[in-house]
Structure 1
Amino acid sequence: MSYTLQTTLDGEFESVVERTVAALEDEGFGVLCDIDVRETLKQKLDEEFRNYRILGACNPQLAHDALEEELGLGALLPCNVVVYETDEGDIAVRAVDPKQLVGVADNPALDSVAEEVHERFERVLTAVDRAGN
């Protein structure tokens, strides 16, 4: 069972990152953090790495709803979306599957929030794909 929702497309890396952020915003998510893994590994380890960004996405209302049901869920927030160059030279966009993520909490009250985030992330990936064509 996969722990992410994903798409792979042709395109310029920074452009795909921008489209991903825009698609997240269209679905009500803000990007709370943007970690440039390539730059971090270069600075901290002096190692070269592929273009790889981790976007910490959060929809405030859905996060609030989930935290009302399971206060400890904050340890799993924000939901990460990654954009990276594949070995084949394509750009992958992967979002954590919220159904899998909240499954570790074993709290059925979170199912509706997880389903809502799942559906929104699917629309984000579809929008990123469409914008690239």
Structure 2
Amino acid sequence: MKYFDSVRLDLPYDQALPRVREALKEQGFGVITEIDMRATMQQKLGEEIEDYTILGACNPGLAFQALGVDRSLGLLLPCNVVVRADGEGSVVEMLDPQTMVDIPEREDLRPVANEAGTRLSAALASLSG
């Protein structure tokens, strides 16, 4: 099972990150968490990795619908989007919202996952278009 979608951008990381935030915003997602993995790995382990940020994207209406079906789905929220440096460019990856359906085996969540997937895919597509 493929659990993510991705796009490669011919932009350096420091330009890609704000573009991703804007693309998510245009699709109704706010960034409610942000984890700088490079800083975390350096601080906690003394290890170096490429610029790598995990954005926790949330569309409140979709999150409310999902929680209305199954309160435990908060474990799968927010929708994670990774922005990471890759050579001269960047890679943007998003978790496929269908995991909300497949992991707990809840077919009644399919419409919410479909809508979240459509919006997240549109955000990714807007970055490469």
Into which bin does the TM-score normalised by the smaller protein fall?
Answer: over 0.9
Instruction: Quote the offset at 1:102 in angstroms.
Output: 2.8
Percent identity between matched residues is 40
Q: Which residue of 2 aligns with 1:106?
A: 105
Deviations 1:30-89 (A, max 9, x none): 101111100111111111111100000000000000000011100111110001123x44
Q: Which residue of 2 aligns with 1:32?
A: 32
Question: Residues of 1 paired with 2:10 and 2:116: CA distance?
Answer: 26
Q: Which residue of 2 aligns with 1:124?
A: 123
Instruction: Quote the offset at 1:122 in angstroms.
Output: 0.8
Q: Which residue of 1 aligns with 2:44?
A: 44
Q: Which residue of 1 aligns with 2:63?
A: 63
Amino acid of the structure 1 residue aligned with 2:102: G
Question: Residues of 1 paired with 2:90 and 2:12: CA distance?
Answer: 8
TM-score using structure 1 length: 0.92
1:94 and 2:93 correspond: yes
Asked whether the equivalents of residues 32 and 58 of structure 1 are also in contact (C-alpha less than 8 Å), the reply is: yes
Asked whether the equivalents of residues 82 and 92 of structure 2 are also in contact (C-alpha less than 8 Å), the reply is: yes
Asked whether the equivalents of residues 5 and 121 of structure 1 are also in contact (C-alpha less than 8 Å), the reply is: no
Q: Which residue of 2 aligns with 1:8?
A: 8
Instruction: Quote the offset at 1:107 in angstroms.
Output: 1.1
Q: Which residue of 1 aligns with 2:73?
A: 73
Question: Residues of 2 paired with 1:100 and 1:2: CA distance?
Answer: 10
Amino acid of the structure 2 residue aligned with 1:3: Y
Q: Structure 2 unaligned segments of length 5 or more: list them.
A: none
Instruction: Quote the offset at 1:103 in angstroms.
Output: 1.1
Question: Residues of 1 paired with 2:33 and 2:101: CA distance?
Answer: 21
Instruction: Quote the offset at 1:100 in angstroms.
Output: 2.8
TM-score using structure 2 length: 0.95
Asked whether the equivalents of residues 54 and 82 of structure 2 are also in contact (C-alpha less than 8 Å), the reply is: yes
Q: Which residue of 1 aligns with 2:54?
A: 54
Equivalent pairs counted in the alignment come to: 129
Q: 1:25 to 1:82 in 2, by over 3 A?
A: same
